[in-house]
Structure 1
Amino acid sequence: MGRRNKTQENLTLLQLQNYIKRDPGSYRDEFTQQYRYYQSNLKIFQLQPSQPSKTMIELIMFISQVAHCYPEDLDTFPQELIDLIRQYQDVLDTDLRLAICRALILIRNKNLLSPTSLLELFFELFRCKDKLLRKTLYNHIVADISNINLKHKNNKVNKALQGFMYKVLCDGDALATRYSVEVMIELYKKSIWNDSKTVNAIVLACFSNVAKARVIAVKFFLGTDDIEDGSDSDDSDDAVSICNLYLRISYDHYLGERQNSLRYYPTKMKGLLVSHNVSKKTKKKKKTLEKALAALKKHKKKRSAKSSSFSALYLINDPQAFAEKLYKELEKAGDKFEIRIMIADLISRLVGLHQLFLFNFYPYLQRYLQPHQQEVTKFLTFVARSSHDLIPPETLEPVLRTIVNNFVTERNSSEVMAVGLNAVREMCAKCPNVMTEELLQDLTQYKSSKNKSVLMAARSLIQLYRYINPSLLRKKDRGKPMELSKEVGPLAFSEVKAAGHVPGTEFLEVSENVDGEEEIDSAIAYVDSDEGTSDDDAISLNSEGEDDDASSSEEIPAERKTDKRAEKARRTMSTDSDQFDKIRTEKVLRELDMRTGGKMKRKHLETMVDNEMEKELSKPIISQDDIEIIHKKARHDRESRLATVKEGREGRGKFTNEKYRMNEFASTSHKEKRKGKSFMMVRQAKGVQRKIKRSFRQKQLALRDSMLKRRKSKR
C-alpha cells in the first residue's frame, strides 16, 4: 500500500490524466487535490494576469481533458474560463490565452458547454492581435456549426449566431468584421447557411469601412460558381476520407509520423491502384480499396454533371437598392482600380440577372471603351452583361456606337476588330433593338475580310440576326428561312410573346388513345366559334372517316396544330426527368439545325447536343471568354512540322561554303580528313590539348578572330 502511494505521488499530470480516464472513481482524491491546486493558482494569477504561467496552462489542459469524468464537480469550470478570458483578454499572455481557448474547445467537444455562449465569445476574441488564435477560433467555429447542422438544421442556434454576427459586422472592428465575413462565406460554401439572411448579411459587408472585408464580400458574389461547387464538399470529404483510410492501411509501415496528415495521401484512382499493387494483399485492403474507388467514381460523376445551381445573387432582398449603393461607391473613385473593376463587375451581374434599371452605369462604362485602356475586355464584358431587352434602345445606342467607332475600324489590328465585333454580338443578343439596319449592314461587310478572326466575328453577328430579326440583313445574308426563326420573329421594345402551351411539350410523343382528347378538340372548336369562325372551319372529331379527317387536317393552321399536340402531350406527360431531358435536347437540336441552315444531318447534330447543353448550363451569364474569341491558325503537331520541313528541303542545295572547293571531284586535305576522325584518335594531340586548356579569355579572342576572318572572306 505504501508503494502504491509513493508511485502516485510521483505521477505526472499526463499519467494521472490517463489513469483517470480509465478509472475515474479510484483517482477522485488525486483529481480533487489537483483541482484545489488550480484554484489557489488562479487566485494568485488574478493578481498579475499579464504574467506568463506554465503551471496554469498545464492545470487548465489537465482539467479540461478529464472534465467529462467529474461533471458534477466541474459544473462551474467552463464558466470560470469564459469569465477569465472575457475579463483579461487584452492583457493575458499569448500562450495562456490560446490554452484557455483550446480547453474550452475540448469541453465543447465533450458536449459540456452550450454552443451559443462559446461561439459568441469566440466572435469577440477575433479582435485580439493574435493570428494563430484567430485561425484556431475560425476553424472551430466552422467545424462546430457544421456539426450542429449535420443531421438537421438547428434553426434556433443558427438564428442566434446570425443575429450576433450581424452586430459584429456593424461594430466596425477590422479583424472581427473580416473573420465574420469569412465564416459566413465558408458556411455558405458548405450549404449550411445558404439562406437569404446570410447572403444579405454579406451584402451589408460590401459597404463596410474595412477594405479587406469589402473585397472578400464582393469576391463572394463574383465567384458564385466556385462557391456553388463547394456544395459538394461533403461528398468530396467522404471520398477523400475513404481513400485516406485505405492509404493509411497500405502505407503505415513506411510513412511513419506523416500518416496523421491527409495531405500526403494521393486521392486519385491511379495512386490507389499503384499503392494496392505494391503493398501486401489482404481481404481488408481489397474491400477498403473497392470502397475508395466507388467513392471516387461517385464524386467524379457528381462534379462532372454540371447543373444550374442556385446563385447567391438570387437571394438578395433588394437588388435594385444594392446596385444603386454599389454605383455610388463606384463613383467615389477612392478605391484602387482593381477594386473598382470588381464593383463594376458585380453591378453588371446584378443588372443583367435581375433586369434592373441603372441608366447612369452605361455612360460610366463608356469612358473606358478604348482599345488602349487597361483591362478593356472586362469593360466590354460588363457592357454586354448589363444589357437586357427592357432597357430603352436610346440608352444603349451611344455605347454601341462608341464600341463600333473605337474598335471596328481599319486603323486597328485584327484582334481589336474581332473583340469589338464579339462585344457587339453579345450586346445585341441581350438587347436586339439597339441595332439599326444601316449599322448592321455595314458591320456584315467584314464577312469578306482576309483575317479569319474578323471574318468569323462578322459571320457570328449575321447568324445571330438570322435568328432574331432577319429583316435587318441584306437579302443575300438572310439565308434559308427556317421554322424556328418564323416562330421567334422580331419583337418590339418591351414586347413579350406569350405561348399558348407549355414550351417544349410538342416534342413529346402522344399516344393515339388519349383520355380527354374529345374535350380538347371540342374546346378548340368552341374557341374558334367564339372568335367568329364558322362551325365548318372547326376541328371535327374522328368519327366521319379518314377522308373527313384528311380534309380537316389541311384546314388546321400550323400554330393550332402545335398547341393541340402540346396540350395532349401535357395531359399525358409525367414528372419523369427523362421527358424534361428530351424537351431540352430537342430544343438544342432545333437551334443547331437553324444555325447550320438545315444542311447537317441529324446524326451529326446529335453529337453536338451534349456540348451545347453543357455550355447553356455552365454559363448562365456572359463570360470574358465570349468577348475574347479570336480564331487563329491551329498550331502544327510534330508530324505536320516535319512534313513542312521536308517539303522545304526539296530542290535545295547543301549548306556549304561555295569558295571552299573549286572542283568537287578533287581530293580532300589533311585538315578536312582530321575532322572525320573519331575524338578518341586525336584526343592526345597537342592541338586538341591546347584547345581544351584554353582560358575563357583565350576562347573569347579566338571567337572574335574567327568572326572577323569570316566577315572578310564574305567580302
Structure 2
Amino acid sequence: MSSRNHNQLPNNLPQLQNLIKRDAESYKDEFHQQYQHFISNLEVFQLKPNQYSKILDELIMFLAQISHCFTKELVDFPQYLKTLLLNYSTTLDPTMRMTLCRALILMRNKGLVPAVDVLELFFQLFRCNDRVLRETLYTYIVSDIQNVNAKHKNSKLNSTLQNFMFDMLKDSNVVAAKKSLDVMVELYRRKVWKDAKTVNVITTACFSKVTKIMVAAIKFFLGVDSNDDSDSESDDEDKGSKKNANELLIGHRVGKKTKKRQKRLNRALEVLKKHKKKKKRGELYNFSALHLIHDPQDLSERLFKQLEKCNEYYDVKIMMIDFISRLVGIHQLFLLNFYPYIQRFLQPRTKDVTRLLLFAAQATHELVPPDLVENLIKTIAYNFITERNSSDAIAIGLNAVKEITARCPLAITEDLIRDLAQYKNHREKAVSMASRGLIMMVRQVNPTILHKKDRGRITEAMQEKEILPYGCPDAKSYLPGAEVLVKEKEEENNDEQLNEEDEEEFGFIDEIIKQTEEEEQEEEKEDDEDEDNDGWEVCSSDEEIDGWSDNDDGWIDVEHSDKEETKETPTLTKSGESKKNKKTNKLQSAKVQVSLEEKKKKAQFVSDQKIFSQADFEKINKAMVLKNLDPIQRKRKRDEQALEEEMRERGEILDIASIENIHKRRAHDKDSRLSTVHAGRTERDLFGRAKPKMNPNASKTNKEKKRSKNYMMVKHKLNSKKNKRSFKDKQVALRDALLKKQRTMRK
C-alpha cells in the first residue's frame, strides 16, 4: 500500500513531460527538481566527457521538450549545451554529442535560440570525426537557412553566415571546409543564396591546395553534380523501386486471380510510379554563376597559371581546361597562351580528344587575333583531316573546324577551306557530310573565300552580310529582321510618313538610281557608234597592224577552222554582249543596295516605334532562318527545321554532340527492333487456341485447370523426379527393373 502513495513522476520523465505541456504551473516544483538534477549530473559528466550518461541524456531531451513552457527559468540552458559542445566537441561520446545537437535543433525550431549562434556552432562541429553527425547537421543547416529566407531575404543573417563560411573554406580541417562548400553550393542550387557574393566566395575554393575542394568548386561552375553520394543513393533507390515492381508482378502471377488482388496490385504500382516521379529532378545548375563573377579575366589568368604548374590527375586537368574555356568564351577574354597550350593535346590518340576539341572551339570568339586561331585550325587539319586517319577522326576534325569557324570567321584561310571542301566527295558518308556542313557554315559566315561552285545560290543573308575586318565592332541601332513586322496596311502609312519626314535620309537612293541611268545612256551611245561600224573598231590609215600598213600587199590568206574563229571572236572589239552583262550586273547591284537600305530604314523605324513581344521575336527568328535558306528551295520544311534547330543550339555553351556528330548508319537498338516487330504483327491474328472449341460452354481440360490452381497444390507434382527424368535415365531405370525381375524369377 505504501508504494502506491509514492510519487512516481520524478522517475517517469515522459509522463511528467506530458503533464507539464498541459499545465505548466501545477508541476513547477517537479520541473525545478529535474533542473537541479540536470545541473548536478552535468558537473559530474564534465569530469569524464567521453563516457555515456543515460540519465543526463534523458534529462537534456526532457528539458528541451518543455523549454517553451519555462522560458525564464531555462535562459541559461542553451548556453550550457553550447559550451559543452565547444569545449568537448572532439572528445564527447558520439551519442551524447548527437543528443546535445538534437536538443539545440529542437529549441531553434521553437524560436528560443538565435539562428546565428546555432548555425556557427554547427559549422564548427563539421570538424568532428562523425559522419552521421555531419550529414545531420548539413541537412539541418540547409533547411534552416531556406526556411529563414522563405518569405523574405534576411540580409543580415545571410551576410554574417557568408563571411563565416568564407573563413571556414580556409580552415585547416579538410572535411569542415568541404562541408561548408557543399552547403553554399546546395543553397545556390535551391535559389536561396543566388547572388554574386556567394559565387565569388566559391571561386576562392578553386585555388584550394586540397584537390577535393578544388574539384567540387570547379564542378559547380561546370554544372556537374558534386554530391556523388546523393546520386548513388538515388540510383540505388530507383533500382530498388524497379525490383519491387517486378516482384509485385511476379507475385501476382501466382495464386488465384481476383478483382481484389488486381486492385491491390494497381494501387501498389501507382504508388511506385509517384515515388519515381518525385525522385526525378531537372538540371541542377544553370550557367548564370559564370556571369556573376566579378573579375573573370584575373580568375582565368590565375587558373591557367595554376594549370601549368599543377601535377594533378589528367581528369582534373581536363576539368580545369573546360572551366577556363567557358570563362574565355562567355566573357570574350584575352588569354593568348591558352591556345598554344591546348594544341599539344590535339592528337587523335589522346584520351578524351573530342572534349579537348570542344574546349578549343569554346574558347574562341571574334576578339581573339585570327593568327592564333589559324594556327589552332591548322593543327587540327594536319593531325585529324588526313587520309592516314580513320573516317571518324576526319569527320571529328571537320566538325571541330566548323565550330571554330562559326565563332571566329576570319581565322580560316581561303586555301585551307578550299582544300577541306574537297572532302565533300569522299567515299565515306561521315566525312562527306561533315565537309558539307563546314561548307554550309562558311556560306553563312564568309562566302567569299569559298570556290564559286561551293557558294550555291545567293541568299538574302549573304546579301546582307557585311564582312568586317578584325577589331571592327558590328554595332547596330536597330533589330535586324524587324522589317518583317511591318504589315501591308501599315507599310503604306509608314511609307508616307517616312517620305514626308525622312526625305533627306532616303536621298541617297535617288542618287544611286540617277548614276545608273546616266551610265546606261553613255553605254547606249557607245553601242550606237559600234552598230554603225558593224561592231568593228575603226582604225586610222596611219596606224600599222602587225608591222604592215594598209597600202601594203603583203597579206597572207590563212584558212581557219570554225573553232578558232569562235574562240577569236570574243577577243575582237565586238563587245556588245560583254557590255550588256556589265549593265545587268550594275543594275542588280544597285537594286540590291537600294533594297538593303530600305530594309534597314524600315527596321530602324519599327525598332524605334514598337515594343517587341515574344511572338514578335519568334516571327523575326523565323524570318532570319528563311533568309539563310535557298530562295528556290524554301518549301522544304526539313531544311528549315534543321537550320532553326542549329541556330537555337549555337549558344554560349557548346554541346559535345556538335563535335561527335558523325553521320553513320547505326545498328538498331532494342526499342527500334521491337517497334519493327510489333509493326509486322498488325495483320496477324492474336495469340490464342489453335483450334476453337466446338462447344464454347464445354468444361475445361485438366491442363487448363492446372493453370488456375494454387502453386502449393501442384508443387509436389512439379518437383517430382519422374517429370524431370531424361530419356536416358528412363532407359537405365527400365534396364534395372528388368534385371531385377529376371533375378527374382531365377530364385
TM bracket (short chain) = 0.7 to 0.9
Which letter maps to 1:525? E
- The Cα shift of 1:614 comes to 5.7
Q: Is the 8 A contact 1:415 1:630 kept in 2?
A: yes
**Is 1:557 paired with 2:594?**
yes
**Is 1:578 paired with 2:615?**
yes
Q: Is the 8 A contact 1:500 1:563 kept in 2?
A: no
Q: Is the 8 A contact 2:396 2:660 kept in 1?
A: yes
* Structure 2 SS opposite 1:557: helix
Which letter maps to 1:342? M
* Structure 2 SS opposite 1:17: helix
Which letter maps to 1:410? E
Task: Tell me the alpha carbon deviations over residues 106-127 of structure 1, each in whole angstroms, 9 at most, x when there is no partner.
Answer: 1111111111111111111111
Give the structure 1 partner of residue 350 of structure 2: 373
Q: Is the 8 A contact 2:10 2:16 kept in 1?
A: no
* Structure 2 SS opposite 1:629: coil
Per the normalisation by structure 1, the TM-score is 0.73
Give the structure 1 partner of residue 394 of structure 2: 417
Which stretch of structure 1 is more off in the superposition, 388-397 or 563-572?
A: 563-572
Which of these two proteins has the greater Rg computed from alpha carbons?
2
Distance 1:404 1:556 in 2: 38
**Is 1:278 paired with 2:273?**
no
* Structure 2 SS opposite 1:170: coil
Distance 2:20 2:133 in 1: 29
Q: Per the alignment, do residues 150 and 639 of structure 1 end up closer, same or farther by CA in structure 2, a change over 3 Å counting?
A: closer
Task: Tell me the alpha carbon deviations over residues 554-577 of structure 1, each in whole angstroms, 9 at most, x when there is no partner.
Answer: 999212321332244335534533
Q: Per the alignment, do residues 590 and 169 of structure 1 end up closer, same or farther by CA in structure 2, a change over 3 Å counting?
A: same
Q: Per the alignment, do residues 124 and 30 of structure 1 end up closer, same or farther by CA in structure 2, a change over 3 Å counting?
A: same
Q: Per the alignment, do residues 691 and 571 of structure 1 end up closer, same or farther by CA in structure 2, a change over 3 Å counting?
A: farther
Give the structure 2 partner of residue 402 of structure 1: 379
Match of 1:601 among 635, 647, 672: 635
Which letter maps to 1:23? D
Which letter maps to 1:278? K
* Structure 1 SS opposite 2:139: helix
Q: Is the 8 A contact 2:50 2:91 kept in 1?
A: yes
Q: Is the 8 A contact 2:221 2:287 kept in 1?
A: no
Number of residue-to-residue matches in the alignment: 582
Residue ranges of structure 2 left out of the alignment (5+ in a row): 227-236, 246-258, 515-589, 678-722, 737-747
Q: Per the alignment, do residues 463 and 156 of structure 1 end up closer, same or farther by CA in structure 2, a change over 3 Å counting?
A: same
Q: Per the alignment, do residues 500 and 265 of structure 1 end up closer, same or farther by CA in structure 2, a change over 3 Å counting?
A: farther
Give the structure 2 partner of residue 663 of structure 1: none
Q: Per the alignment, do residues 85 and 439 of structure 1 end up closer, same or farther by CA in structure 2, a change over 3 Å counting?
A: same
Give the structure 2 partner of residue 95 of structure 1: 95
Task: Tell me the alpha carbon deviations over residues 278-306 of structure 1, each in whole angstroms, 9 at most, x when there is no partner.
Answer: 3699xxx9xxx9xx99xx89x99x96xx9
Task: Tell me the alpha carbon deviations over residues 585-605 of structure 1, each in whole angstroms, 9 at most, x when there is no partner.
Answer: 4334444x25xx641416556
Give the structure 2 partner of residue 710 of structure 1: none
Match of 1:490 among 444, 467, 470: 467
**Is 1:464 paired with 2:441?**
yes
Distance 1:307 1:502 in 2: 34
Tell me the percent identity: 42
Match of 1:317 among 284, 288, 294: 294
Match of 1:335 among 289, 298, 312: 312
Task: Tell me the alpha carbon deviations over residues 297-322 of structure 1, each in whole angstroms, 9 at most, x when there is no partner.
Answer: 9x99x96xx99965210000000110
Distance 2:262 2:727 in 1: 54
Distance 1:35 1:326 in 2: 57
Match of 2:410 among 428, 433, 436: 433
Which stretch of structure 1 is more off in the superposition, 21-30 or 423-432?
A: 21-30
Q: Is the 8 A contact 1:510 1:568 kept in 2?
A: no
Distance 2:592 2:421 in 1: 41
Q: Per the alignment, do residues 480 and 90 of structure 1 end up closer, same or farther by CA in structure 2, a change over 3 Å counting?
A: same
Higher relative contact order (CA 8 A, sep 6+): 2
Q: Is the 8 A contact 2:329 2:364 kept in 1?
A: yes
Which stretch of structure 1 is more off in the superposition, 19-28 or 505-514?
A: 505-514
Give the structure 1 partner of residue 538 of structure 2: none
Which letter maps to 1:144? D
Task: Tell me the alpha carbon deviations over residues 59-95 of structure 1, each in whole angstroms, 9 at most, x when there is no partner.
Answer: 1111111111211111221122112211221221121
* Structure 2 SS opposite 1:441: helix
Which letter maps to 2:503? A
Give the structure 1 partner of residue 624 of structure 2: 587
Match of 1:358 among 332, 335, 341: 335
Distance 2:63 2:467 in 1: 77
Which letter maps to 1:369? L
- The Cα shift of 1:204 comes to 0.2
Q: Is the 8 A contact 1:409 1:417 kept in 2?
A: yes
- The Cα shift of 1:439 comes to 0.9
Q: Per the alignment, do residues 566 and 2 of structure 1 end up closer, same or farther by CA in structure 2, a change over 3 Å counting?
A: farther
- The Cα shift of 1:24 comes to 2.4
Give the structure 2 partner of residue 705 of structure 1: none
Q: Is the 8 A contact 1:177 1:210 kept in 2?
A: no
Give the structure 1 partner of residue 43 of structure 2: 43
Q: Per the alignment, do residues 467 and 34 of structure 1 end up closer, same or farther by CA in structure 2, a change over 3 Å counting?
A: same
Which letter maps to 1:115? A
Task: Tell me the alpha carbon deviations over residues 478-525 of structure 1, each in whole angstroms, 9 at most, x when there is no partner.
Answer: 101100122124232122333342234222244736998766444432
**Is 1:133 paired with 2:133?**
yes
Q: Per the alignment, do residues 403 and 42 of structure 1 end up closer, same or farther by CA in structure 2, a change over 3 Å counting?
A: same
Which letter maps to 2:482? T
Distance 1:211 1:337 in 2: 13
Q: Per the alignment, do residues 602 and 218 of structure 1 end up closer, same or farther by CA in structure 2, a change over 3 Å counting?
A: same
Give the structure 1 partner of residue 504 of structure 2: 526
Which stretch of structure 1 is more off in the superposition, 325-334 or 516-525?
A: 516-525
**Is 1:83 paired with 2:83?**
yes
Match of 2:482 among 474, 480, 505: 505
**Is 1:620 paired with 2:638?**
no
Q: Per the alignment, do residues 612 and 441 of structure 1 end up closer, same or farther by CA in structure 2, a change over 3 Å counting?
A: closer
Distance 2:176 2:726 in 1: 75
- The Cα shift of 1:639 comes to 9.2
Q: Per the alignment, do residues 50 and 408 of structure 1 end up closer, same or farther by CA in structure 2, a change over 3 Å counting?
A: same
Distance 1:34 1:263 in 2: 51
**Is 1:382 paired with 2:359?**
yes
Per the normalisation by structure 2, the TM-score is 0.70
Distance 2:284 2:121 in 1: 40
Residue ranges of structure 1 left out of the alignment (5+ in a row): 228-257, 267-273, 538-552, 643-679, 694-715
Q: Is the 8 A contact 2:189 2:285 kept in 1?
A: no
